[in-house]
Amino acid sequence: MTKKIHIIVGMSGGVDSSVAALLLKNQGHHIEGLFMKNWDEDDGSDYCTAKQDLEDAKQVCAKLNIKLHVANFAAEYWDQVFDYFLQEYKQGRTPNPDILCNREIKFQVFLDYAKSLGADKIATGHYARIATINEKTHLLKGLDQSKDQSYFLHALTEAQLSQAVFPLGELQKTEVRKIASSEEFAIHNKKDSTGICFIGERRFKDFLARYVPKAPGPIETLHGEKIGKHDGIAYYTIGQRHGLNIGGLKNYSEEPWYIVSKSQKNNTLIVAQGSENPALYQSALQTEPPHWICNTPTNFPYSCTAKIRYRQMDQACELTKNNDGLIVSFSSPQRSVTPGQFAVFYQEDICLGGAVIESAINQP
C-alpha cells in the first residue's frame, strides 16, 4: 500500500491498535482514531474496562498527534450481537460473539461510520493479513502463529476486507510490544484483553443468569444413570470439567467427569469420566450453511484443513455437502465438538471461510 490515504484506526486503548496507528502514521497516511463503545456501562457493574481503555486511547492519540473520535455503538451491538448471543445460549448452544462483532460492528457499523468521516479505509490491530490474488481479496493468517486471529475474521466478506488494513499481520507480538516500549507508550506492558468486555472478571454463569433463567435438570452418565443436578444446560459447555459438583461417587473411580453432550429436549447434561474418554471425541460434524470469503468450492468432496476453536492446530478434513450445510469429516477425531461454535476452513495460509457447528457426528 504505497498510495497515501485517509485511514481511521479502531483504537481500543491496547498495545496492538496503538502500534497499528503508529505504523500507519509512519508510512505517511492521514490517520485518525476511533474508540468504539459497544456496551452500556450503566448496567451497575464495574467489570467493563471501557472508561480506562478510553483514557489510554486518548493518551496514545495525543502522543501521536492524531484526532480521536468516540462513537457509541451499544444499541447496534445489542441488536446485532448480544441478542444472538442470548438466543444461542437459550437453545443450549455455545456462541462466539467476537466473530459476530467483527462482521456486524467492527467491519460494518464502524466501517460505515468511518466512511461518513471521509475515510478511505479502516484499520485494526488484528494479527491477520490481506492479499490480492487473481484480482480477489483474500484473508491470510497472521505470521505470528500464536496470535493469528484469522479465525475471528473468517465471517467477513471480500468487500469488507478490501476496505480494511491489518498493519500487524507481518509482525510477532514480541516485536509489537518492543515498538510500543521504544515509543514510550504508557500502555506498552498493558495486559491483553481476554474474554468479553461486559463479562470481565466475574463468573460467566452469574452474568448469564441475569438474562437466561435457571432451569435445573439432571446430570446423567452415558448409561442414563442420574448422578447429579445442574442449574440449566445454558450455563455449561461441551468438554467442561469444573463446576459440575459431582465426584466421590460409589462404584466410580476418582477420575474427573466431563460434559460430553447436552440434551435440550430432556434438559439433561450427559457426562463421562476421564480426559481421554472416547465420548469426548467425534470424527465429524454437521454445519449450518457456510460462508465463503471469495472462492466458493465447487468440487466436492473438498479437502482442506479446519479449526473448531481459536489457536487449535489446523486439522486435515474433507468437506461434503449435506442439505444447505456441510459435513466435515476429520482425519483424526476431534475433542469437544461444540454446537454454536465455528468451524473455520483453510488452504495453507489462506482462510477460506467457515460455518456454525450444528452438531457432532460419530462416523465409523
Residues designated catalytic: 101, 197
Compute the half-sphere exposure of residue 256: CA atoms within 13 Å on the CB side of its CA: 12
What's the half-sphere exposure (Cβ side, CA atoms, 13 Å) at 53?
24
- The CA distance from 314 to 317, in Å, is 9
Strand order in the sheet with 30-37: 68-72, 30-37, 6-10, 121-123, 164-165
Interhelix angle 15-26/50-64, nearest 10 degrees: 20
Residue with cell 492479499: 131
Per DSSP, helices labelled H in the chain are 15-26, 50-64, 74-77, 83-90, 97-101, 110-116, 150-153, 158-162, 173-182, 204-208
Dist. CA 354–CA 104, nearest whole Å = 16
Distance from C-alpha of 98 to C-alpha of 331, rounded to nearest angstrom: 28
What SS3 class is residue 128? strand
